[in-house]
Structure 1
Amino acid sequence: MAVKVLVVDDSSFFRRRVSEIINGDPRLEVIDCAVNGKEAVEKAAKLKPDVITMDIEMPVMDGITAVREIMRTNPTPILMFSSLTHDGAKATLDALDAGALDFLPKKFEDIARNRDEAVGLLQQRVSEIARKRSFMRRPAVTSTPVTSSTSTATSPSSIARPASTRPLAGSTPNTAPVARSASTGGRFKATGKRYQLTAIGTSTGGPVALQKVLSALPANFPMPILLIQHMPSTFTAAFAQRLNGLCEISVKEAQDGEPLKAGTAYLAPGGMQMMIDGRPGSTRVKIIDGGDRMNYKPCVDVTFGSAANVYGDKVLSMVLTGMGADGRDGARMLKQQGSTVWAQDEDSCVVYGMPQAVAKAGISTEDLPLDRIAERILVELNLV
């Protein structure tokens, strides 16, 4: 049965263009269109589409408000279309906060070298997020928070700043299985390893996942954090600024030549590659041109490989939700050096591509639900 898609945009030209592309894939079918957010909410309730594509700026009701209302009444995977501007980036991040799962630029030429590539990318994104529709519509399950083996009173949520961190509509209930190798009776145990760097790679679904994890880390986090998120260059500065306002740690877009400091997360700039130079205790960020040979700019493999070369067995790394297999080769290099690699589990991923590649290759030692990754980090580093 074809994936049913509702296309929402106030431009008749764009509705027609998107509909033609989606209907060009036999796995997909546009069942209707809406011209504003209010109509989208109504048709989402009536037609129960499997996926919705949504514009941000529309009359009557904007896309962000529509996403929030749809997620409240009829949770549905939503793909946003955004302009690649600073304001467009902020609005897109608001839409992801509201519950949208992914986004694409409205100008397809900004993300593809030719029309065929753009068509395939849109079709692939719709197909991928459609896989989350049944999970999003499960009834919410309330579970008792699980404490760590070193503390019975402290959890990640008590360390984060709940007043400034908004609920994440796309977050997953804490119902996934416990990590496969590091907990007993639901309680995590530290492995006793020593670390000097944390590195996290992610793509589709990553902005929400990173916000969930980083907002639960304390200001005295004892090492620098490298963040590699597949994201356009116009988005990374706005995303880093948003995370910085929501987290106790400092978060910034990485700049070439700056030293790595404990308690600071460095987000790789879009369109570039982030590496590190030096030796443990005296390392600097190295930002280089993305080049044409790499599919991803920034690329998780590049940063992870650089971390493996400099820090050896002293890296705590994670591969979170995302499409494709970026991070697998870099994670393999880290593991060969003796560093730790974890992967997000399938149920809590928006797209189980990157973590699956790492898990299937036997590289990750633990598969963790998103809601427990921060807790697992704190236990591993003896911070609780």
Structure 2
Amino acid sequence: MPISVLVVDDSAFFRQQIVSMLKGHPELRVAGTASHGKEAVEQALKLKPDVITMDYEMPIMDGISAVREIMARQPTPILMFSSLTTSGARVTLDALDAGAVDYLPKFRESLSANERLKQQLIEKLIAVVKRGGKGQPLSGTTAERTAPVERAPARQPRLSPRPELIMVGTSTGGPVALQKFLTQLPAGFDIPLLLIQHMPAAFTGPFAERLNRQCRIRVVEAQNNMALEPGLALLAPGGQQMMLSSRERVKVLAGDDRLNYKPSVDLSFGSAAKYYGNRVLAIVMTGMGADGREGARMLKKVGAPVWTQGSDSCVIDGMPAAIRKEGMSDADIPLDSMAQVLLKAL
């Protein structure tokens, strides 16, 4: 049966744009629409759609409030539409905390000018439903966690030699995964970290600020020529590439337009293989696609360990699965256990 979609937006024009994007696709069916958050909750309970697209700024009830109530009463994968601004980034991060699984940029142009966005929307809707993805709100939200119960890892991985750098690559579902992982690292954690999350340029600054407030380690958005420091996590800026220029510093640059991702996990991992050899630990977490696979291949050639997030805890298991499929994962670890396993291995 086709995947049923509930479209929520206060703009009749934008609702029609989304309906037009989905109309005629053999795997999708628009089950209904809603013009504000309260109606979205009512329609979610009545229609029980497989997935929901959600606006933020709406009358009567805003999108974040609607996400919280839907996740509490009828847990459903929700994609947020957000403006590519600092304000839009903060709203999106709040929505992810509330249980939304992902986001897409807001647009007001004609459908013909947004073929790439149309393809992204369709791919995300299909992927989260086929994966069984549900929102995974953090502790303190009103919604319950709906992902499958995670099993403990079969064995405790070892790290020898001790890594001098930890790199984490993420995409869809990554903001929540990174938050859960990094907030469990203690003050005094003494290894530098590089974080590569697929995000637009306007989002990474607010995301780094949020993580820095929540974590006991320091988190900042990387800038060109910044130094690696113990217990400092550098987040790759959206729309750019982050590489190592030496064992001590990072290089931030525009990068090649032929690369699909900015930032690219492959590019960052590959530069670490050059400067750190087997003294880097790479961790690939939830995300669509296979970014990180070729970078992991370069790291494995120099003897570096690569860990993956366990399938059951991924919103989308594309990136970790690509590593596993090639036999390059040294440890497959549930998200809730990742920090604990890392600390024990160190």
TM surpasses 0.5: yes
The one of 289, 293, 312 equivalent to 1:324 is: 289
1:306 aligned to which of 268, 271, 292: 271
Structure 2: which amino acid aligns with 1:295? N
Q: Which residue of 2 aligns with 1:159?
A: none
Q: Does 1:200 align with 2:168?
A: yes
* In structure 2, distance between residues paired with 1:49 and 1:332: 40
Contact 1:45 1:74 in 2 (8 A): yes
For residue 191 of structure 1, report the CA deviation from its aligned partner: 4.0
Q: What is the 5 A alignment of 1:132-281?
A: 132-133=131-132, 136=134, 166=140, 175-180=149-154, 183=155, 188=156, 190-279=158-247
Q: Offset at 1:4?
A: 0.4
Match of 1:339 in 2: 304
Name the amino acid aligned to 2:18. V
Distance 1:351 1:173, change over 3 A: closer
Over 3 Å counting, the alpha-carbon distance change for 1:223 and 1:324 in structure 2 is same
Residue identity opposite 2:89 in structure 1: A
Paired residue for 1:293, among 240, 243, 258? 258
Letter in structure 2 aligned against 1:117: R
Aligned residue number for residue 323 of structure 2: 358
1:26 aligns with 2:26: yes
Give the CA RMSD over aligned residues: 2.2
Per-residue displacement from partner, 1:209-258 (whole Å, max 9, x unpaired)?
00000000012111110000000000000000000000000000001011
Q: Kindly provide the CA deviation profile for residues 195-219 of structure 1, in whole angstroms up to 9, marking residues without a partner as x.
A: 1000000000000000000000012
Which amino acid in the other structure matches residue 34 of structure 1?
A
Unaligned runs of 5+ in 1: 139-161
Query: Which residue of the partner structure matches residue 368 of structure 1?
Result: 333
Q: What is the CA–CA distance in structure 2 between the aligned matches of 1:366 and 1:7, rounded to whole Å?
A: 39
- 1:117 CA displacement: 2.2
Number of the residue aligned with 1:130 = 129
Q: Is the 8 A contact 1:170 1:208 kept in 2?
A: no
Query: What secondary structure does 2:234 align onto?
Result: strand
Deviations for 1:313-361, whole angstroms, at most 9, x for unmatched residues? Answer: 0011100000000000001111111111011121111111111001101
Quote the residue 1:51 is aligned against.
Answer: 51
Matched, 1:10 2:29: no
Distance 1:20 1:347 in 2: 33
Could you say if the C-alpha distance between residues 223 and 137 of structure 1 is closer, same or farther in structure 2, counting changes exceeding 3 Å?
A: closer
The code of the aligned residue for 2:35 comes to V
Counterpart Cα distance in 1 of 2:306 and 2:36: 44
Q: How far off its partner does 1:376 sit?
A: 1.1
Relative to the length of structure 1, the TM-score reads 0.85
- Scaled by the length of structure 2, the TM-score of the pair is 0.94
The amino acid that maps onto 1:329 is E
* Cα distance in structure 2, aligned partners of 1:41 and 1:85: 27
| Shift of residue 368, structure 1, vs aligned partner | 1.2
Cα separation, 2, equivalents of 1:226 and 1:368: 19
**Aligned equivalents of 1:341 and 1:201: distance in 2?**
11
Query: What secondary structure, in the 3-state scheme, does the structure 2 residue paired with 1:79 have?
Result: strand
Q: Percent same amino acid among aligned pairs?
A: 54
Q: Secondary structure at the match of 2:72?
A: helix
CA positional deviation for 1:380: 1.2
Distance 1:167 1:174, change over 3 A: farther
Q: How many residues align?
A: 344
